[in-house]
Amino acid sequence: MKVERVSVEKLRKDVGEWAKQIADGKPLDSHKVVTRHGTEALVVVDMDWYRLARKALKDPTDL
**Domains with residue ranges and CATH for the chain:** 2-56 (3.40.1620.10)
Mean pLDDT of the chain: 93
Pair 44, 16: CB distance under 8 Å: no
What percentage of the chain reaches a pLDDT higher than 90?
73
Pair 24, 16: CB distance under 8 Å: no
Rounded average pLDDT over 20-35: 94
Assess whether pLDDT exceeds 80 at residue 18. Answer: yes
47: pLDDT confidence band, cut at 50, 70 and 90?
confident
11: pLDDT confidence band, cut at 50, 70 and 90?
very high
- Phi and psi at residue 13, to the nearest 5°: -70, -40
